[in-house]
């Protein structure tokens, strides 16, 4: 048997394939897009991004709209048709794609995946929607209103009874592109002028020295001095780590779970004359650390190992500083990774909490008496953050918290919490502990 030769790929069709990888295979967006994008014309890439991020971000609203127009739910094996419909609705209501183009694109997609039977269904649903688009109420449930799965809404509401609505709506906004300037090379105000010269507009972050928030995302090739290592791309919340570590020359420092290396680079930028071990479990992600450090002309010992198995990688020499950017639910960075809302399961949380605890316990003996450990997550859940560290301080009699004083975030019983979108930062948690002498 032979199949029709593939026509040139368009963004709408590649978007279906990317979304199938995420919603059917459970692949993350950051792996699904590179796996499909090679078939796509360079000029179509922004549209692909808009489509896949948009559908994953607004999925619960899109599904609530579709539910009204579908006489019966689609079968699980017709997830592709469901995706085609969501893409169609998203284009009609969010992107304001011309009606005929959205409908035609959706119908053609169904033919390309050889599901001719769906043609009439797609036509009927999208055309009815076009007729009624001004009257649609798609905020009839909390899931639809905030476009998050119910368990996530419940959990955020429970943890943040005052701020949950704000958190959820911030999580649906696209995150800004934030730069980290090497302030030893240049003042922030001077770099801001360089940006203006290439017609980029940035805002200086109020409480994070060296952070500049771009008004519009731009390709890194447009950033003055990027190749030379003058600036890096990193959210302002992540830029809070290195300054908290009180770095000094000759210190021996561990960055556990280092990939993709932004914080490692920041540590070395802050204090180049220290010895840094950067550990990560993934060889391919450690490769990204290597690339990042190379661009900045920095040196670290890159170690590919499971951090919780020290006999595999630790030489037995204690550290002055440990940064543990722990594996977490990533509930604070949903605005950057909307696929988290579809991929994360409620049952994952307990497992993550156990992993975090295990790593904390393994790392603690590796810290010198008098040394500092900074625990960080990009989560907003108390079990992973404040409660995790409360338990830690109870377990370790030789650990004492050092309160973080800063213009960002909220002081917790232990540590400091940034909520998603506050001061345009990602949701992040930091707790600093010292080992008694």
Partner 1 sequence: MAILPILEFPDDRLRTVARPVEVVDDQIRAVLDDMLQTMYDAPGIGLAATQVNIHQRLIVIDVSEEKNQPLYLVNPEIVGLQGIEEMDEGCLSVPGIYETVQRADRITIKALGYDGNVFTLDAEELLAVCIQHEIDHLDGKLFVDYLSPLKRNRIKKKLEKQRKQAAS
Tell me which residues are annotated as active site.
378
Residue of the chain from 8, 43, 72, 77 that contacts partner 1 (CB under 8 A): 77
Q: Whose Cβ is closer to partner 1: residue 20's or residue 396's?
A: 20
- The interface with partner 1 within residues 3-42 (CB under 8 A) comprises 3-4
Burial of 336 (0-12, 13-18, 19+ CB in 10 A): buried
181 backbone dihedrals φ, ψ, rounded to 5°: -90, 140
Which range touches partner 1 (CB under 8 A), out of 112-120, 287-295, 303-311, 347-355?
A: 112-120
Question: Encoding tokens for residue 370?
Answer: 């008098």
What is the nearest approach in angstroms of partner 1 to the Cβ of residue 38? 12
Residue of the chain from 8, 72, 96, 114 that contacts partner 1 (CB under 8 A): 114
Q: Whose Cβ is closer to partner 1: residue 111's or residue 402's?
A: 111
Q: Is 72 in the site for partner 1 (CB under 8 A)?
A: no
The single residue listed with the structure tokens 């579908």 is 70
Cβ-Cβ contacts under 8 Å for 399 (sequence gap 6 or more): 364, 392, 393, 433, 434, 435, 436
What is the nearest approach in angstroms of partner 1 to the Cβ of residue 115? 8
Q: Whose Cβ is closer to partner 1: residue 80's or residue 159's?
A: 80
Q: Is 76 in the site for partner 1 (CB under 8 A)?
A: no
Which range touches partner 1 (CB under 8 A), out of 2-10, 59-67, 391-399, 418-426?
A: 2-10
3 state DSSP class of 324: strand
What is the nearest approach in angstroms of partner 1 to the Cβ of residue 66? 22
Q: Whose Cβ is closer to partner 1: residue 113's or residue 233's?
A: 113
Which range touches partner 1 (CB under 8 A), out of 114-122, 214-222, 376-384, 396-404?
A: 114-122
- With CA atoms as reference, report the closest residue to 273 among 251, 242, 296: 251
Residue of the chain from 31, 73, 98, 117 that contacts partner 1 (CB under 8 A): 117
- With CA atoms as reference, report the closest residue to 171 among 409, 378, 338, 417: 338
Q: How far apart are CA 74 and CA 257, in angstroms?
A: 41
Burial of 98 (0-12, 13-18, 19+ CB in 10 A): exposed
Q: Whose Cβ is closer to partner 1: residue 114's or residue 184's?
A: 114
Do the bridges between strand 416-418 and strand 428-435 make them parallel or antiparallel, or are there none, so unpaired? Answer: antiparallel
Using CB under 8 A, list all residues that contact partner 1.
Answer: 1-4, 77, 111, 114, 116-117
């Amino acid at each position: 048997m032979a199949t029709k030769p593939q026509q040139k790929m368009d963004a709408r069709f590649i978007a279906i394939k990317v979304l199938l990888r995420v919603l059917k295979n459970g692949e993350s967006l950051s792996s699904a897009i590179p796996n499909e994008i090679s078939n796509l014309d360079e000029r179509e890439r922004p549209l692909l991004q808009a489509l896949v991020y948009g559908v994953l971000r607004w999925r619960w609203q899109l599904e609530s709209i579709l539910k009204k127009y579908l006489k019966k739910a689609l079968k699980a094996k017709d997830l592709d048709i469901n995706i085609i419909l969501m893409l169609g609705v998203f284009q009609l209501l969010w992107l304001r794609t011309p009606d005929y183009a959205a409908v035609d694109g959706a119908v053609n997609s169904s033919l390309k995946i050889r599901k001719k039977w769906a043609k009439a269904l797609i036509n009927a649903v999208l055309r009815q929607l076009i007729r009624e688009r001004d009257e649609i109420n798609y905020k009839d449930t909390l899931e639809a209103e905030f476009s998050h799965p119910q368990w996530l809404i419940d959990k955020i509401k429970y943890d943040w009874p005052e701020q949950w609505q704000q958190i959820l709506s911030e999580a649906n906004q696209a995150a800004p592109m934030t730069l980290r300037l090497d302030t030893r090379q240049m003042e922030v105000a001077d770099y801001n002028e360089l940006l203006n010269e290439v017609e980029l507009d940035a805002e200086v972050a109020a409480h994070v020295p060296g952070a500049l928030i771009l008004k519009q995302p731009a390709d890194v090739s447009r950033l003055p001095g990027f190749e030379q290592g003058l600036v890096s791309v990193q959210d302002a919340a992540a830029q809070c780590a290195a300054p908290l570590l009180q770095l000094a020359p000759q210190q021996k420092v561990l960055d556990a779970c280092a990939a993709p290396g932004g914080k490692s680079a920041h540590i070395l930028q802050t204090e180049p004359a220290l010895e840094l071990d950067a550990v990560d479990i993934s060889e391919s992600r450690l490769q990204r650390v290597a690339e990042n450090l190379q661009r900045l002309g920095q040196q670290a010992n890159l170690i590919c190992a499971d951090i919780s198995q020290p006999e595999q990688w630790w030489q037995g020499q204690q550290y002055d500083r440990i940064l543990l950017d722990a594996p977490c639910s990533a509930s604070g960075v949903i605005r950057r990774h909307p696929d988290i809302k579809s991929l994360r399961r409620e049952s994952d949380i307990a497992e993550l909490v156990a992993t975090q605890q295990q790593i904390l316990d393994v790392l603690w003996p590796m810290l010198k008496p008098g040394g500092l450990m900074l625990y960080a997550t990009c989560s907003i859940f108390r079990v992973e953050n404040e409660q995790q560290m409360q338990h830690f301080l109870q377990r370790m009699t030789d650990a004492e918290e050092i309160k973080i004083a800063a213009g960002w975030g909220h002081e917790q019983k232990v540590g400091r919490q940034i909520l998603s979108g506050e001061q345009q930062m990602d949701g992040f948690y930091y707790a600093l502990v010292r080992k008694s002498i």
